[in-house]
């Protein structure tokens, strides 16, 4: 008898609308609420849109709940528990959870959906395949392109108590429906548009440089990077055509996400200890990792220069020894991506002194 190979049964988002102006068809993708008079949907919307016309374009009914999310800080497990607890106190849980915003808001929608049908706290489900029950039907409407949160099987949450930034990785975390309208990215500030787009570029290049490879992930990553090059090496990265390309790249990157390398663990350390947002933290990390990704480092800087992007410096200057210890601990804990990049003996390469040196470059 031959040895059996364990193949992963991979899930992707079931349905999506894509194209300029497709938000106008949003009502058609909402689940039918039925005859229950208490049925309602809940919308999590980035507070950036609180005074914008976007809300008026959504088919919000009188019984629906709208939560404008402050994204100053990235989502914490405590915030997810708070949102879920409030909704569980209603006479019935929502029929659908909708996230409208960037990666943080999309992750909040996915996490709250899961916690409405699973007991305990959100920190109990940080890891791989720990979510037992399917969440409430959920729809993602990205207003930024790059994080891939719309297409991935994870929602990344900061756990302050444990000092980690880790995903709720599960097939149950995936959105059931997406509405991908490039018009929604037209108002993104230029620098933020770049930082977010680089999330796709960086996690795809990490995947292609790692050892956890397969043909499908390679193909998705390669196409996403090709689109990123077309966008960020063009004369106008935010042209209508390029915003459409970037939305596709983000979706492909999200489908391929998971097998990252050194950038994301260093980025996670910056988020946990210094509160840096994920996308710009990735850029900070890449700026310090030339020796590991020489070709991509050169191209990354070419894209920065081409688009005249502001990159702050000196973030880790004058930190205390205690802060460097925390940065090390919150980065080195990510064993899977570091093993993907450097092998089982990654700690021999990334000694404490080496990791300190990397952070001092930032």
Beta strands in the chain (DSSP E): 15-18, 41-46, 65-69, 96-101, 127-128, 137-142, 156-159, 164-169, 177-180
Q: What is the pLDDT of residues 331-362, one digit of tens each?
A: 999 999 999 999 999 999 999 999 999 999 99
Distance CA 153, CA 11 (A): 8
93 burial (CB, 10 Å; 0-12 / 13-18 / 19+) is middle
Q: Provide the β-strand partners of residue 165.
A: 158
Q: Do 202 and 94 fall within a single domain?
A: no
Rounded to the nearest 10°, the torsion over CA 167, 220, 104, 129 is -20
Q: Do 308 and 179 fall within a single domain?
A: no
For the chain, the domain total comes to 2
| Confidence at 34, pLDDT banded by 50, 70, 90 | low
Distance CA 114, CA 122 (A): 9
Q: Do 246 and 106 fall within a single domain?
A: no
5 in a structural domain: no
Q: What is the pLDDT of residues 275-330, one digit of tens each?
A: 999 999 999 999 999 999 999 999 999 999 999 999 999 999 999 999 999 999 99
Lowest mean pLDDT, pick from 115-129, 151-165, 181-195? 151-165
Residues 132-165, buried b or exposed e (16+ Cβ, 10 A)? eeebbbbbbbbbbbbbbbbbbbbbbbbbeeeebb
Average pLDDT estimate for 22-29:
95
203 burial (CB, 10 Å; 0-12 / 13-18 / 19+) is buried
Q: Do 31 and 150 fall within a single domain?
A: yes
CATH number of the domain bearing residue 157:
3.40.50.1970
Average pLDDT estimate for 90-104:
95
Distance CA 11, CA 21 (A): 27
CATH number of the domain bearing residue 274:
1.20.1090.10
Distance CA 346, CA 350 (A): 6
Q: Provide the β-strand partners of residue 46.
A: 69
Given a contact cutoff of 8 angstroms between Cβ atoms, the answer to whether 151 and 258 are in contact is no
- Tell me if residue 164 falls in helix, strand or coil: strand
- Whole-model pTM: value is 0.93
81 in a structural domain: yes
Q: Do 78 and 207 fall within a single domain?
A: no
pLDDT at 181 over 60: yes
Q: What is the pLDDT of residues 101-114, one digit of tens each?
A: 999 999 999 999 99
Choose one of 136, 169, 185: the last residue of a domain. 185
Q: Give the per-residue pLDDT at 89.
A: 94
């Amino acid at each position: 008898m031959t040895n059996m190979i364990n193949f992963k049964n991979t899930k992707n988002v079931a349905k999506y609308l894509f194209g300029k102006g497709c938000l106008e068809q949003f009502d058609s993708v909402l689940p039918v609420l039925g005859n229950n008079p208490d049925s309602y949907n809940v919308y999590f919307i980035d507070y950036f849109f609180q005074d914008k016309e976007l809300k008026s374009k959504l088919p919000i009914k009188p019984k629906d709940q709208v939560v404008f999310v402050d994204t100053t800080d990235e989502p914490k497990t405590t915030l997810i528990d708070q949102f879920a607890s409030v909704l569980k106190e209603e006479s019935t849980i929502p029929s659908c959870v909708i996230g409208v915003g960037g990666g943080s808001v999309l992750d909040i929608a996915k996490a709250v959906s899961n916690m409405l049908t699973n007991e305990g706290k959100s920190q109990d489900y940080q890891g791989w395949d720990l979510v037992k029950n399917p969440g409430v039907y959920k729809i993602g409407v990205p207003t930024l392109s790059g994080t891939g949160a719309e297409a991935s099987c994870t929602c990344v949450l900061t756990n302050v108590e444990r000092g980690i930034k880790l995903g709720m990785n599960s097939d149950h975390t995936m959105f059931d429906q997406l509405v991908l309208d490039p018009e929604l990215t037209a108002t993104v500030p230029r620098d933020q548009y770049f930082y977010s787009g680089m999330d796709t570029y960086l996690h795809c290049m990490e995947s292609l440089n790692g050892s956890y490879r397969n043909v499908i992930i390679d193909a998705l990553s390669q196409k996403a990077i090709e689109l990123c090059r077309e966008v960020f090496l063009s004369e106008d990265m935010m042209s209508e055509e390029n915003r459409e390309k970037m939305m596709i790249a983000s979706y492909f990157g999200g489908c391929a996400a998971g097998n990252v390398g050194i950038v994301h663990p260093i980025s996670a350390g910056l988020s946990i200890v210094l509160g840096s947002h994920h996308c710009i933290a990735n850029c900070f990390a890449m700026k310090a990792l030339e020796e590991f990704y020489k070709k991509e480092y050169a191209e990354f800087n070419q894209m920065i220069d081409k688009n005249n992007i502001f990159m702050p410096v000196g973030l880790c200057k004058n930190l205390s020894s205690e802060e460097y210890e925390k940065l090390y601990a919150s980065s080195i804990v990510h064993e899977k991506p570091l093993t993907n990049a450097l092998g089982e003996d990654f700690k021999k390469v990334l000694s404490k002194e080496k990791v300190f040196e990397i952070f001092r470059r930032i």
